[in-house]
Structure 1
Amino acid sequence: MDWVASSDEVWIEETRTLRFHSADVDEGLWALDFTTDLTNVHPQPLQLGSPTTHGRPNAGYTGLA
């Protein structure tokens, strides 16, 4: 997956892996492993932040949407 800036430049390449396992149909249980790898492909360093890191109370991001 590519993260594209408003300038149409790709700044970050992301690889996600979702692994479902340990399913127990009788119990209705299962497990999910989620991994992500972000690579800066922009020629300059990137600073990642969010409303939370800029001081907005109760702002947050789960990372999986």
Structure 2
Amino acid sequence: MTPQQRIRRDVLKENRLTEEGLAAMSPAERKAIEEEIAPIIAKRVKALEEEAKTKGKLIGLPSM
């Protein structure tokens, strides 16, 4: 599981949802949920990337 997939799983879990639950929703319901969680996931992925860059610089690894 990639870091992005883990973040998505965690955001869904925080909202008491699963991939299976999303798949069972109507297309309109699913779209509304996806639109709601997409910015949260993007923000967390960006924070994770920034953290990785910072840690890489701190220990002398090449930046990504």
Q: TM range, normalised to the smaller chain?
A: under 0.3
Query: Quick one: higher RCO (CA 8 Å, sep 6+), 1 or 2?
Result: 2
Q: Which structure dedicates a bigger proportion of its chain to helix?
A: 2
Highest CA radius of gyration, 1 or 2?
1
Task: Give TM-score scaled by structure 2 length.
Answer: 0.22
Task: Give TM-score scaled by structure 1 length.
Answer: 0.22
